[in-house]
Copies of this chain bind each other. A is one copy, B any other.
Amino acid sequence: MREQDCDVCEQLCEHPQSICLAKAEMLSDDAVHELAETFKILGDSTRIKILHALSKRELCVCDIVAVVQMGQSAVSHQLRLLRGSRLVKYRKEGKMVWYSLDDEHISLLLSQGIEHIAHR
């Protein structure tokens, strides 16, 4: 989209071209929503601990419980959310369920976040 394609109507403080371009480039509602959902899932201390632990090695649920020091039920609820956002995957082995990060994206997202907070 070229800047010229944007209607230019003079109005108070607004900058119509910027607004029009920004609207044109906007992500779809679905994408925005899914993105927000994903980050929302990342936005919890318990889940960050779980993900960070899983970024090093596969763990079964009761190991995760021991690592993050929360109740088994609470951990299971969080794991469900993490599965729902495809941030973790799992495999069953008898009674146990082994969790790991869904792919390397997730590790990258985490490190990117760690870099952000490290930068001051």
Contact = CB atoms under 8 A, between A and B. Distances in A.
Given A19-B63, A35-B114, A112-B109, A27 B48 contact: yes
Interface residues of A, number: 57
A22 B113 contact: no
Interface of A: 12-15, 18-19, 21-23, 25-27, 31-45, 47-49, 52-53, 56-57, 59-60, 62-63, 66-67, 86, 95-96, 103, 105-106, 108-110, 112-117, 119-120
Contact of A43 (B36, B109, B119): B36
Nearest to A67: B22
A36 B109 CA distance: 12
